[in-house]
Amino acid sequence: MSGRFGAAILGCAGPVLTPEERAFFQKANPFGFILFARNIDTGDQTRALCADLRESVGWDAPIFLDQEGGRVQRLRPPLATDWPAPLDHVRALGDNAAQGMALRFQITALEMRAVGIDANCAPMLDVARDSTHPFLRNRCYGTTPDRVIAIGRAVADGLMAGGVLPVIKHMPGHGLAQMDSHLELPRIDADVQTLDAVDFAPFRAFADLPMGMTAHLVYSALDPDPATISPKMMSLIRDDIGFGGLIMTDDISMQALSGTVAERGAASLAAGCDFVLHCNGDLEEMRALMDRVGQADAAAQARAKAAIAARRAPEEVDIESLKHKLGALPLKPADD
């Protein structure tokens, strides 16, 4: 690893790393990188981009992707399988959902690894409601904590079997949101008992995983500030939920948060996040952010190194054999 990490995970503007980006990343030394559809064309191009990103920081830095399936899937055919939305797939598999989703995400992991990507922003542990905003609802795994825990564990296990690190999200629970936090700040007015019993519960079952992502939400019964920049909510994630892994923000450029990107990033670290996730690839925004946040603190550095230590080689298995196993599972639709 190349020195102390800058306190961020960053994106780039296009499918090829520019000289300006390369020089900036070398100086900033972010903990990792995140790719989007704008960065992905062919398999050879994506592998070359991943190699160039890692070369810019001088070590095998993690490269993240949102590869949930359905609408949120950055790798598309022919580079990856075109999956249905998670909630639809879980419902179709019914009693076989855990086994099926483990296979699906092992396949997903192998497809990601094939182009150089080794961390997935999944499983999503938000508990769906009838009122959950459409941008989120069919990305969920179920409408009860027990169902979400069972499927979430299968997703995490499948990713790890395929050599990809999972990132649980959106801590401490996005399921009650009725707004899209990419565009505005959702406010959750549920009482503490409901939040604790339903929304926070799945995250307690995943305290062993190495990385998690915050939610840009206000939980009004607990704090008037969004969780990402709330010391109280970050303490709840650490102390009540018991999550000891690396915590990254959701995309700091989302419009749920006010102030400049640099101000948002500084506030999230002050609240207790370890790393700021910046996704849009805007070089000037990233420069301003890194000028403000600098290097991660000692605790964040230790959590980052623990996350890297959790990486493992994929199990030796053929994707087609996994797809055959998944296709052979009987469909037994069941209520979630």
Tell me the catalytic residues. Answer: 182, 250
What are the DSSP E strand ranges found in the chain? 6-10, 30-34, 63-65, 67-69, 72-73, 119-120, 165-166, 168-171, 187-188, 211-214, 218-219, 246-248, 276-278
Q: Give the closest residue to 165 by CA, choosing from 48, 289, 32, 64.
A: 64
Q: What angle do CA 312, 314, 318 make, to 5 degrees?
A: 175
**Can you tell me which residue has the tokens 């995983």?**
209
Cα gap 27→56, rounded to integer Å? 9
β-strands 119-120, 63-65: how paired? parallel
CA-only gyration radius of the chain, Å: 19
d(CA 171, CA 247): 9
Q: C-alpha 25: how far from its chain's center?
A: 21
Torsions phi, psi of 40, nearest 5? -120, 125
> How far apart are the C-alpha atoms of 140 and 177, rounded to whole Å?
12
Cβ-proximal residues to 278 (8 Å cutoff; 6+ apart), any chain: 8, 9, 10, 11, 251, 252, 253, 261, 265, 285, 286, 289
260 Cβ contact partners less than 8 Å away, ≥ 6 residues apart:
288
* Burial class for 83, CB neighbours closer than 10 Å (0-12, 13-18, 19+): middle
